[in-house]
Amino acid sequence: MDRTAGWISGFIGVLIFSGSLPATRVAVMQFDPVFLTVARAAIAGLLAVVLLLAFREKRPAWQDMISLAVVAMGVVIGFPLLTALALKQVSSAHSMVFIGLLPLATAIFGVLRGGERPKRAFWLFSLLGSLLVVGFAALQDLRASPIGDGLMLAAVVVCGLGYAEGAQLSRRLGGWQVISWALVLALPATLVASLFTMPASFSGVEAPAWLGLGYVSVFSMLIGFIFWYRGLALGGIATVGQLQLLQPFFGLALAATLLHEPVTPIMLAATAAVILCVVGARRYGR
């Protein structure tokens, strides 16, 4: 029952995260990447303070502070900053392909940090799913940038670490508590940095950029993690992490719905194949 609840919660988290890179792409066109990173973290951090006070949550133990710092550096600062910088170089469609490598990174850190020991078949399905995502990218004839690709690879690594570390803490503190405390831990730095990197005037910033900032601040930085960390804690870091293989295709589906881009047969075939890999990974994850 816990595993099913974990997969449902993780799936909701992936749906929310699917809009992160398109929203970041829109926002970074008018906001500086560094300001966007610290502003979204500061906004989410203030909301986290309200949540923690409203529910009268106890402070984490001192031994949990290092893990919370790892989460903060990985998913509060590292991933948002690296992806924002990358999206100055590549399109959101191109960048979403790299998100397909997140399950492998999360699984590896789940093994290193969480002591999980998936079966060999899990690694086979995980690797196959990642290769399918990379192959799908190659067939799209997307313009590549070595700098952008390098930044996205680095983002995947730090995000995988943050996911695995946060999932371990979620088993003790709770999913929404982990991301909330990580945001609060980073809040003094992100607030100060927001003031120093704030543009001289917001008069030229249009509505889409504001909507992008709002989405990544509220949904990508806080609400999505509430579902995601709960899912990883209940269903297993390595197995539930495979749901991230679907994220690039959800992101492309959003582009098709909102931007009226065509959905090709190759896209549908790749999506079906990746779903089969996710099902296989779930079966052999433990």
Average pLDDT, the chain: 85
Report the greatest alpha carbon distance in the chain. 56
Q: Are 274 and 249 in contact (CB under 8 A)?
A: yes
The whole-model pTM stands at: 0.85
Structural domain range at position 47:
2-283
Phi, psi angle pair for 96, to nearest 5°: -65, -25
Which of 122-131, 238-247, 253-262 shows the lowest per-residue confidence on average (mean pLDDT)? 253-262
Higher pLDDT, residue 208 or 265: 208
Check pLDDT > 60 for residue 261: no
What pLDDT does residue 267 have?
Answer: 67
- Return the pLDDT at 14: 93
Q: Which of 19-23, 125-129, 272-276 has the highest mean pLDDT?
A: 19-23
Q: Is residue 167's pLDDT more than 90?
A: no
Task: For residue 96, give Cα distances in angstroms to 72, 86, 183, 210, 271.
Answer: 22, 11, 24, 21, 14
* pLDDT above 70: residue 185: yes
Q: Residues 6 or more apart from 63 whose CB is under 8 A from it?
A: none
Q: How far apart are CA 273 and CA 208, in angstroms?
A: 34
Number of domains present in the structure of the chain:
1
Long-range contacts of 212-215 (CB under 8 A, 24+ apart): 212/23, 212/24, 212/25, 212/26, 212/27, 212/28, 213/27, 213/31, 213/36, 213/39, 213/40, 213/43, 215/19, 215/20, 215/23
The pLDDT assigned to 141 comes to: 52
Helices (H), 72-145: 79-86, 92-99, 102-114, 120-139
User: How would residue 92 be classed by pLDDT, with cut points 50, 70 and 90?
Assistant: confident
pLDDT digits (tens, 9 = 90+) for 119-146: 788 888 878 888 887 777 666 555 557 7
Question: Is 159 within 8 Å of 105 (Cβ atoms)?
Answer: yes
pLDDT-derived band at 74, boundaries 50, 70, 90 = very high
Q: What is the mean pLDDT of residues 9-20?
A: 92
Instruction: Find how far residue 121's CA is from the centre of its chain.
Output: 25
The whole-number pLDDT of residue 143 equals 52
Specify the pLDDT at position 140. Answer: 59
pLDDT of residue 232: 83
Joined together, the tokens standing for residue 141 give 């004839």
Residue 45: what pLDDT?
A: 97
Residue 32, pLDDT score: 95
Q: Which of 28-32, 60-64, 208-212, 240-244 has the lowest mean pLDDT?
A: 240-244
